[in-house]
Homo-oligomer: A and B are copies of this chain.
């Protein structure tokens, strides 16, 4: 099609006055319905006593119910001794870890706010809300390119070993946000054997999609990092995060931090000052609904059955529409919540054009620190929330926008 023909098609879509949203990784209604049974787990006749005899309705049990630690531990393959259960948001745990490090340091190190600067490694493209936290604390963010096995470990090793102001790195190690990569065994082992110049360097290992497969038979495998770090003599180097946000209800789930016992002792001091306890009734509700890792896996296959057709539809349309477009590349992940589309030089223009046509995407650049995508290339597609019908239309419009913007670059 000529640019004029493409523009005519675009004008047609624009006339439809659409309102479609592929911006955020939100579960759709059908997915949320999968957890409605959880609302029946507790009623006014239920005994709300935990297995250790604690009345879950009352104050107490700072680090969380043992049975809930076991459940969340099973999701991310760590023993319950290495887990603290928090409130509803793993993002908030990460925020609090950085905030605590700013004011109090890590295991007795100098509070980061007393240092002339703090730096952080950011594999890119990555999760915008991670970068927002480090930006909020004035931490200097350094881009680390992602490849098919994970972050560029040559660069990570070199930087952390020579710069004591580098205090952390953001990682989404499985079905990463947004490009769906799972870190290879070699990458995980290289993380575990890092020799950081900063003793208080911590890997922020956000295992948000640990059980979030799209297929029953094709699944990525991720090496367990706490164990690898312990074996490598670096037991305290990792904070590992998880939550049930995309297992049960986002915002009404349970979140956890897994780490070494020494880190837990360090963190518990602050935790005991900041609160009396977290929501144990909701912890119990999750335990009674899911029971164990088998309950979780069954639930995740139900999620997959809803999500898979959406991912496959988007991928099919991208194949149909953009195979001829030489600059466009996209991912076909086996799990997680995103498809990542690379259109070097025109991402911002494509997203703006989609918006004009009623299709909301995450703002271009969001997957990079300071919203600065150096190649103006990455577009994050979140297929979970729209219906199949909406997704069809939205993806066609996205492809059309890519074709128009690409055609314009050829003309220019």
Contact = CB atoms under 8 A, between A and B. Distances in A.
A250 B274 contact: no
Interface string A118-147: 000000000001001100110000000000
Nearest to A134: B273
A38 to B, nearest CB: 8
A132 B46 CA distance: 36
A252 B279 contact: yes
Contacts of A245: 59
A198 interface: no
Contacts of A100: 99
Q: How large is the interface on A (under 10, 10 to 19, 20 to 34, 35 or more residues)?
A: 35 or more
A286 to B, nearest CB: 12
A114 B112 CA distance: 12
A42 B39 contact: yes
Contacts of A95: 273-275
A55 B29 contact: yes
Interface string A218-247: 000000000000000000000000000100
A159 interface: no
B91 A276 contact: yes
Contact of A252 (B26, B103, B137, B281): B281
A32 interface: yes
Given A37-B44, A57-B252, A88-B279, 19 more contacts: A24-B59, A29-B55, A32-B55, A39-B42, A39-B43, A56-B251, A58-B249, A58-B250, A59-B245, A92-B275, A95-B273, A96-B274, A103-B103, A113-B114, A129-B276, A251-B279, A252-B280, A252-B281, A279-B282
